[in-house]
Structure 1
Amino acid sequence: MPKIRAILTDIEGTTSSISFVKDVLFPYSRERLPAFVVTHGDKAEVQHWLHEAAREAGLVSASEQEMIDLLISWIDSDRKSTALKALQGMIWKDGYRDSDFRAHIYEDAARRMHAWHAMGLPLYIYSSGSVPAQKLLFANTGSGDLTPIISGYFDTETGAKRESASYARIAESIGMPADEILFLSDIVEELDAARAAGMRTTLLARDAEGCPPDSRHPCAVNFDGIDVGAC
């Protein structure tokens, strides 16, 4: 097998706890979204994403309140909408700026990411959260600013995370053969899609039960269990 020359990683459940996203970020954006839309709705970037959300919902026209209700319902259902994620990222930017919270990252993830970077392995992020939101998260972690060690970011504008074509596009963007890229995620369907595109994969099983015995992907309970030389 070719040598691993780059690492692509998911965020939620992989580098960072699911509870941080579900219990901190989502409620924060839900609470502040109505006021954000009212006070920022005249800004070009916000208007763009509101129009994209309306288009995604099949709405020819919608009132401000209808858009607010739609977006809140999408937050509640964890809809993987690029427009919603972009708007949430703008709201989270205020939260990081005001020190309302600090992003969670597992200690082993931060430590191993630094080690891989020192080995010359470029690190990339692929998450359903918008690229600006990803950059904010890694710039404001409890382990410090990790953005200097990250080479690039991808979100759902690249494509859905359970579609193999998305990973083919990422490999092309990185400029490496897919089989020289290792993808890390806690979601089996994402790993299946990455493998179908030719990438190497490792399942992160951070829950108390550990790695499933019938896993069809190499598995580790944390980043310390990932041997990039053996993947």
Structure 2
Amino acid sequence: MCVNESIILLDIEGTITSINFVKEELFPYAAEVLEDYVKTHWNDDDFKEDLELLKKQAANDTSLEGFIPIADDGEDAKKSVIENVLWQMKNDRKTTALKQLQGHIWKYGYDCGNLVGHIYSDVPSVLSKLLDEGKKIYTYSSGSTDAQKYLFKYSCMGNISSLFTKYFDTKIGPKQIETSYTNIAKEIGVNCSDILFLTDVIEEAEAAVKAGCNAAILIRPGNLPQDPEKLLKFRTMKTLDPLVNDE
């Protein structure tokens, strides 16, 4: 498969890291240490920023079922933050506030040696070859840019962060909205047609294509089944190897 595009834009979960790692290790770890993390880091600058984002998000969530408000101060505030975050996690929210906090919790886990990031074995070698061909590699994930950096720095394949030019998260826009991809192209300084987006989610690929990008679907072990008819519109791969092999 010949890659004509100069920019490779990578989704992460289900594309270059295992969904099982995210669902069975990262998310449970964040929930497990949340209470201790909030109490221990309450006065840290990073957490103060996280708290402000959580409060802003809470102000927009008041009409949602099961919503848990965040108290203003004291021990009640800590308890309410913990309960609000657990509520968001239970409902698999993709809010920037939640993702930023999770990223900081995961950094804590990586630093302590409690977490090691999963990366598929084909990823480093393929991305290295693409770089040798003059391609530039970016990521776009619902996880925060910080969470992405830690995953690559503390990965099971070693520190592979040097492979990536820049990281994008949902601050640039939701992943299933085409304007997010035009925003990324503007940020990079290229045309959408210069971008090949790789993901495991058809709706994300469709949004990228609407923006003028090219897209392909990764079918990794554990990924959710995709609509067979919609899949026919895209190139599909089980690994990244076809990007550098004549297949």
Give the structure-1-normalised TM-score. Answer: 0.92
* Structure 2: distance between partners of 1:75 and 1:115: 37
* Structure 1: distance between partners of 2:156 and 2:20: 15
Which structure carries more relative contact order (alpha carbon 8 Å, separation 6+)? 2
1:218 equivalent to 2:219? Answer: no
- The percent of aligned pairs where both chains have the same amino acid is 37
* Higher alpha-carbon deviation: 48-57 or 196-205: 48-57
Superposed CA deviations along residues 169-198 of structure 1, whole A, max 9, x for unmatched, are 101111111101100000111111111111
- Match for 1:152: what amino acid? K
* Structure 2: distance between partners of 1:207 and 1:28: 22
Tell me by how many angstroms 1:141 deviates.
1.2
* Structure 2: distance between partners of 1:84 and 1:65: 16
* Structure 1: distance between partners of 2:222 and 2:107: 32
Kept after mapping to 2: 8 A contact 1:205/1:211: no
The size of the alignment, in residue pairs, is 229
Superposed CA deviations along residues 67-115 of structure 1, whole A, max 9, x for unmatched, are 1101012122221011111111111112111211211111112221111
Q: 1:112-127 alignment to 2 at 5 Å?
A: 112-127=126-141
Kept after mapping to 2: 8 A contact 1:20/1:104: yes
Q: 1:179-198 alignment to 2 at 5 Å?
A: 179-198=193-212
Superposition misfits of 4+ residues, deviation over 3 angstroms: 207-213, 226-230
Tell me by how many angstroms 1:213 deviates.
4.9
Q: 1:19-58 alignment to 2 at 5 Å?
A: 19-58=20-59
* Higher alpha-carbon deviation: 62-71 or 209-218: 209-218
SS at match of 1:183: strand
SS at match of 1:157: helix
Give the structure-2-normalised TM-score. Answer: 0.86
SS at match of 2:129: helix
* Structure 2: distance between partners of 1:224 and 1:67: 43
* Structure 2: distance between partners of 1:55 and 1:110: 38
* Higher alpha-carbon deviation: 53-62 or 106-115: 53-62
Kept after mapping to 2: 8 A contact 1:211/1:219: no
Q: 1:54-65 alignment to 2 at 5 Å?
A: 54-58=55-59, 62=71, 63-65=77-79
Tell me by how many angstroms 1:66 deviates.
1.2
Is there any run of 5+ residues in structure 2 with no aligned partner, and where? 63-68, 72-76
